[in-house]
Structure 1
């Protein structure tokens, strides 16, 4: 039985600014030998001169570099990226310096995905979305204050896809291969405080890391960090807790163990004091601890503190309680660095016969697998889209998110922390090479502190997963994780070789698909907790109910849908031959108490991997929601059995002109005990609902009104589907109207085509032109159509089955804004928003 108790944290110095990993190796020194009194006096004088009372001793300053970049798509004629260009600043190209004329380059802000701006091409790999991929160049002028002279200066990148090369003032800083891990450069020696500095980044996304759409560009946040010589190291705060006797799963006495790594980059030794203050959600200080240690020059030291947190509020999916740790570093009584760390206290335990226990209570993992892709923006998701996606899944009843198949944005995990979503954090590749182990270390160091993260996954469906070589590679990866974090179990998502290879080195047996093998695996691995890391992979197109049978050459499965339009029916009847329908997949999990849970492939559609079609399809159809986050009918299947509130969902739509008298399959997803169906007031019979199932009627079509009436715990509920009129108007529904005037906040505006009674017309395809005025801009558009080739960055989008999406982003100046939608023959719509 595996039992883990911990407090999990994440560190930041402002809401959007994370500390990234240093490119220099950390140096940890033992201080068992103390200097003599005279040396300590000399050290004190040096410390006074080097640290205290000077500008260089001020706490860290963080400057976002997200705005005002220049971008050029493609490589530049005559630019030779040889050793002299990269390494010898005296021979640096004009491109790398201040004098280069980039006035013709595109003005962009980051996060930025330039691949999504391209035009779809049937000659381009459809696994990656049929969008051309080529290198790109970024340039930005940075003004560094003169006051930063003598301070440490870092450039931080949260994510660049891919194979980036970076220069500052013509000096080559380095290469970073991975498109998913965060990285930083110490630019203290090449930066020029008091004047302008030129930052240049080249990216080359042509060598893919996966088989799905991966985008390209500086697609996560960037920043400049200025620090005193004595400071908290990158990802330098770790909080762990020993928890005893949870009270009803909501409170427990805890003991915190805090490890804070402090770096002294000065040439002089210093005595540093770390003050750790725990603050509750109301802002009240709960407890503090102060520790002082001697720091040698150019070294790091781990401050270890331990103190009680009585009657701690426990973090859970239903009540994601977060504490705040304020860490202050002082030298000679002056604060030289300060960061805050939000953390949660909770326990996790995996049992081979009873599954997962969170804070002593059984919890079934009701999860989804997700890529980092969304309509209108590609992989360059604004922070609020991360939160939107988590919230939509929470509303469905999901309590878990698998990061497929790589390091995700910190903002996603922060949303999971705040909203109560459990996470499998997954590494991209299985290997024991220095490069891959370095990526794994980056993942664990950055994300080990999130209370939402409950499992590490070292790989997904790797070639060597069942071999002895895979076991050796996995053993090295598991050993590295253990050095960095002993508080979480480790798994691997395996689709063959189970019982061999990685099975011998991981804590939780992860497996993908094939529910017919679950019982056999449990018998053969009776002491191993089990989790279905990938299930279902059912396919369906939102709002499509055509049922023409077809097959595809690469797949032996039979499908129902409209193959001419690359559409599969939204009824739960379609899955590849290696996958299962939603109902089959979830029943296999729900009926086995020893199964910790399952992760549906996938929560959202994503570009690329357009199974079961080829061109003109350009996106997948596995999602419970489409690329815009509009729910498909399957959303309500999971909601029926994953949530506690009453659900009664009736489909399909009831607009079947020309099919009067034909039999139409009518389905109901519900957790009501019984459901009765009516057509135009006439009962078509009542049926009892079996757990984790659905109900069906075959109904002869007649225009009018379908009504489903159900009873849930003795209360009556009903839902209606009506035959609508023709499209008459546009309706705009912003998910929020008040935005922060920071140039990054967004509103997701649902665009509906409605009839003269305001009802969404479920088959409408009207083209809509969108325009934003005032203190905002149109960031992107989408509609969820898997064969739509319109630009996500245009101002026009055709509705797909009655809906499309506009993403409005604020400017950095407060003021009102408005979005207007027009379509020939329809009444226009305007929605008012405001940036504050």
Structure 2
């Protein structure tokens, strides 16, 4: 049936009114429609699995897509998060005039098993949470009653042994967490059901500075029940809209049969090349016309970038004939308070932040991400790798193997036309937690099955796309990966290396790279992960491995980048990670978070981000590194000084920097490895800082303000009056609470006239993996975990020689020994076990010889790994100061943190 223009307009208006849609037009007539179907959904969890039809037990709420049901429960104190079934439903108005069109529901992503019902019948299903899928729905619609069409979506994110990922250091958020579209096509169209690609595949087999050629494969779908002849036209359009080349092919379509044609465009002279410095994009416009009426039936637009590249095992990566060191980050797709259900603007902003950092590479890990990510990488000139979520382990079943292959095909075909993609990956750290550790023979069989799967995916990938390189990422167990054979199969090997963090000394990083290159001279190498946790609330002037401070992470990256840059055979490196991300199983200083990001979860830069800008940007750059540490505290240098000297770091790509503090020039420093250091005398209150560089007769400046809370050297000082003190016991780090405008400072031994502890030792977690810096456990009942994660064990007394007055005292306690062995988590790369010895602990606390806490039993009162705060008022007179004494009854007394505030 041939529809009139008026009927098409009516159909479009109905869809627009229902969906707030986007339509596509050509030659004054609507030829196909793609509209978002994101609004007006009802959602319900179904933890009992009773099914959609049991309306009495399901509680429905209004939602829109993108949507995840795990935005809140992944951050609470209860272990685990909802992994089960969720249902979505809504009515869809369909105009009868669309009866002879082909209608599809097109999902950008739903995690992880989905089944779609239209008017009560199953229209299709999909396995996998990170690739797109397309469901034809025309045969299930009621065109006679346009008001009476219901779409129901069932999504399930529970663990399934046959679906990767099986386990990982990230959260498997559930829901329809990306966009959903309704697509209307003519009966003849480019095939959307070819693994949810757009049906057109663009290749550039020959590219040079002087000429280029383009080959376009188009897959056509014909649902017309008669012989049909169409004209397929492919045009190459430059960035100004000029038609560079065009080719047309006449095609005879067999009824109800899918066809494929290939078209070649030769002799595109002097092409604009695509690169990170100049990401010039052409467009390839593919159109299908009815050969007789010349009516436009379908249209697909793809990006086109002319570039050529190669990996050289000795010289690294080359783009367009020039060496190009790939430096960038990996990325996870979640965000604070949103889970992974992000609007496009936040995906776009992530790629912009990577570009603003100076990065030219994005490892899209550990799964394909929102389509807009690669769109932006094309536009901004970010080279990429993309991988499927085979992480940590496999299941030895045909179902698992099939799902891996299907995911790989979906990933490749959906993202085939992006010039930014140079690597297809298919595994990450697959030997991290080997199964059958107590059965050598069975484990060898498991390893052989992994190798077979690797080879199978390698062969599939090379067949699907011979123009790009293949890739897997391994963790640092080099000998194991070599023995199993995984270092020889892929074209490029990625290594996730954490020497100086999870294990080994930091010097071992460069040694590892040299060893691999020496023993595998014909294999290209990338560093696909490296990083150290940096809780932005934690700072120190004495960084230690695993203290989670920004300062240790900065030191770590300064070492790693230097080692990467000086080795040509290292083709590139990706920091783990662009931004902090959710990993529900994690505990540590910020429970449920992996803090290795260069940006916070809500994308605020950490010091390390500026370090990479100083190294990667070409325009003049200067940045005060610790500008986000704008609330500080410290002790006056002496009783006669009203300032505290603390280190300040500046990053720059210029030769020298001048620092001006509170209007005073502190001198000019020569940058070493892009770093300048000063000893800055901070005064009480607001301090102004300005870092200045000069280049080409121009001044470039960075300005910040730091609010400094100066503490007296002598607590009875008249120069610096005592107001309050917040102390972390057993700690060498500062904890900054921006919300309460409070700084917690490291502990110290007692000094006459000052303050400090007597007796005891810092709590040390015996797990053989870290430097013993406090507990790594989640402290229940608080967001300020670092206040409770360090303590002084066996303390005798805490003394503060404060002046007379009324004081408010708060003592912070936590029982960090929970009596159990804590199993190593999957991200703990050296497999150590945290041993926590059970211990009874009962003690009394007296303040100025008055017993205020009698027979305190932290475990009995609060439980293990929970925060307990005891507050009281103390009146000090006669120059006695404050003396807090701890009397053991059973076990060793402890104190985690102490807060003293003078009321008057």
TM score, norm. by length of structure 2: 0.66
Distance of 2:22 and 2:300 partners within structure 1:
10
Provide the alpha-carbon RMSD of the alignment: 3.2
* C-alpha displacement of 1:161: 1.3
Q: Secondary structure of 1:417's partner?
A: helix
Matched, 1:449 2:417: yes
Secondary structure of the residue that 1:638 maps to in structure 2? Answer: helix
Structure 1 residues 709 and 156: alpha-carbon distance in aligned structure 2, compared to 1, 3 A threshold: closer
Correspondence for 1:517 among 500, 512, 521: 512
Work out which structure has the larger RCO, using CA pairs closer than 8 Å and 6 or more positions apart in sequence: 1
Q: Secondary structure at the match of 1:502?
A: coil
CA contact (8 A) 1:163 1:175 kept: yes
The 1:615–1:123 alpha-carbon spacing in structure 2 relative to 1, beyond 3 Å, is: farther
Deviation at 1:80, TM superposition (A): 4.7
Question: Separation in 1 of the partners of 2:510 and 2:545?
Answer: 19
Q: Which of the numbers 516, 519, 526 marks the counterpart of 2:521?
A: 526
SS across alignment from 2:462:
helix
Aligned residue among 91, 102, 127 for 1:141: 91
Does residue 479 of structure 2 align to residue 493 of structure 1? no
Structure-2 separation of matches of 1:787 and 1:707: 41
User: Which residue in the other structure is 2:676 paired with?
Assistant: 695
Structure 1 residue 506 corresponds to structure 2 residue 482 = no
Q: Partner residue of 1:595?
A: 570
| 1:740-771 deviations in Å (ceiling 9; x for gaps) | xxxxxxxxxxxxxxxxxxxxxx964169xxxx
Per-residue deviation at 1:114? 2.0
- Are the equivalent residues in 1 in contact too, given 2:431–2:481 (CA < 8 A)? no
Q: Structure 1 residue 539 and structure 2 residue 533: aligned?
A: yes
Distance 1:658 1:350 in 2: 51
User: Contact 2:202–2:416 at 8 Å: present in 1 too?
Assistant: no
Mark the CA change 1:789 to 1:59 in structure 2 (over 3 Å): closer, same or farther: farther
Q: Quick check: which has more Rg, 1 or 2?
A: 2
In the alignment, which residue of structure 2 is the partner of 1:238? Answer: 201
Aligned to 1:828: none
Per the alignment, residue 378 of structure 2 pairs with: 417
Q: Which residue of 2 aligns with 1:351?
A: 312
Change (3 A) 1:377 1:178: same
Residue 523 of structure 2 aligns to a residue whose secondary structure is: coil
1:153 is aligned to 2:137: no
**Equivalent residue number for residue 898 of structure 2:** none
SS at match of 2:306: strand
Q: CA, structure 1 residues 610+319, in 2 after alignment: closer, same or farther (shift >3 Å)?
A: farther
Indicate how the Cα distance of structure 1 residues 80 and 17 shifts in structure 2: closer, same or farther if over 3 A, else same. closer
2:274 counterpart of 1:315 = yes
Q: Which residue of 1 aligns with 2:38?
A: 66
Which structure 2 residues correspond to residues 286-365 of structure 1 after superposition, within 5 A? 286-308=244-266, 309-331=268-290, 332=292, 333-365=294-326
CA contact (8 A) 2:22 2:34 kept: no
Matched, 1:162 2:137: no
CA distance in 1 between partners of 2:589 and 2:703 (Å) = 37
Residue equivalent to 1:201:
153
- 1:326 positional shift: 1.8
Q: Per the alignment, in what secondary structure is the counterpart of residue 60 of structure 1?
A: strand
Q: 1:80 to 1:283 in 2, by over 3 A?
A: closer
State the shift of 1:58 in Å: 7.4
Residues 508-541 of structure 1 deviation map (CA, whole Å, 9 limit, x = unaligned):
1211114421111111221222211112x12213
Alignment of 1:151-190 (within 5 A): 151-190=101-140
- Change in Cα spacing, 1:655 to 1:69, as seen in structure 2 (3 Å) is closer
Distance between the aligned counterparts of 1:359 and 1:18, measured in 2?
38
Q: CA 1:651 to 1:357, structure 2 compared with 1: closer, same or farther past 3 Å?
A: closer
Cα offset for 1:142?
Answer: 1.1
CA 181–651 in structure 1, closer or farther in 2 if over 3 Å, else same: closer
1:581 alignment partner, SS class:
helix
CA gap of 1:271–1:383, structure 2 versus 1, over 3 A, is same
TM-superposed CA distance for 1:133, in Å, is 4.2
Q: Relative to structure 1, is the Cα distance of residues 660 and 486 closer, same or farther in structure 2, using a 3 angstrom cutoff?
A: same
Q: 1:189 to 1:538 in 2, by over 3 A?
A: same
> Any conservation in 1 of the 2:633–2:708 contact (CA below 8 Å)?
no
Q: Which residue of 2 aligns with 1:617?
A: 591
Q: CA deviation at 1:265?
A: 2.5
State the distance in 2 between where 1:159 and 1:489 align.
25
Residue 160 of structure 1 aligns to a residue whose secondary structure is coil
**How far off its partner does 1:574 sit?**
4.0
Distance in 2 between residues matched to 1:498 and 1:657, nearest whole Å: 48
Q: What is the CA–CA distance in structure 2 between the aligned matches of 1:152 and 1:679, rounded to whole Å?
A: 68
Q: Distance in 2 between matches of 1:476 and 1:543?
A: 46
The Cα shift of 1:111 comes to: 0.8
- CA gap 1:491/1:725 in 2 versus in 1, 3 angstroms: closer
- Relative to 1, partners in 2 of residues 1:719 and 1:228: Cα closer, same or farther, differing over 3 Å? closer
* Counterpart pick for 2:604 among 624, 627, 630: 630
Q: 2:745 — aligned with what?
A: none
CA offset at residue 604 of structure 1? 0.2
Match of residue 744 from structure 1: none
Q: Which residue of 1 aligns with 2:427?
A: 459
Offset of 1:442 from its aligned partner?
0.4
Q: What SS does the aligned partner of 1:379 have?
A: coil
Match status 1:256 vs 2:214: yes
Task: Report matched runs for 1:669-818 at 5 Å.
Answer: 669-680=651-662, 684=666, 686-691=668-673, 693-703=674-684, 704-712=687-695, 716-724=699-707, 764-765=738-739
CA contact (8 A) 2:600 2:606 kept: yes
TM-score, normalising length from structure 1? 0.71
- In the alignment, the residues of structure 2 paired with residue 461 and residue 223 of structure 1 have an alpha-carbon distance, to the nearest angstrom, of 35
The 5 A counterparts of 1:69-108 are 69-75=41-47, 79-80=50-51, 93=53, 105-108=60-63
> Would the aligned equivalents of 1:665 and 1:697 in 2 still touch at CA under 8 Å?
yes
Deviation at 1:105, TM superposition (A): 2.1
Tell me, yes or no, if structure 1 residue 645 matches structure 2 residue 600: no
| Distance in structure 1 (CA, Å) of the matches to 2:380 and 2:590 | 38
- Secondary structure of the residue aligned to 2:458 is helix
Unaligned runs of 5+ in 1: 1-13, 20-56, 82-92, 126-130, 247-251, 550-556, 561-567, 727-761, 768-784, 791-836
Structure 2 gap ranges (5+): 1-15, 24-28, 395-399, 435-443, 498-508, 638-643, 710-735, 742-777, 784-904
Kindly provide the CA deviation profile for residues 455-504 of structure 1, in whole angstroms up to 9, marking residues without a partner as x. Answer: 11111111299954333212211221122211111110112345452222
Q: How far is the alpha carbon of 1:688 from its aligned partner?
A: 2.5
Q: Structure 1 residues 110, 591: closer, same or farther in 2, change over 3 A?
A: same
Distance, in Å, in 2 between the alignment partners of 1:725 and 1:494 is 45
Asked whether 1:664 is paired with 2:646, we answer: yes
* 1:473 matched residue in structure 2: 453
8 Å contact kept, 1:122–1:615: no
SS in 1 for 2:202: strand
Contact 2:234 2:246 survives alignment (8 Å): yes
Q: 1:244 to 1:154 in 2, by over 3 A?
A: closer
Displacement after TM superposition at 1:626 (Å): 0.3
Q: Tell me what 1:558 maps to.
A: 545
- SS of alignment partner, residue 379 of structure 2: helix
Q: Give the direction of change, closer, same or farther, for the CA distance of 1:17–1:214 in structure 2 (3 Å limit).
A: farther
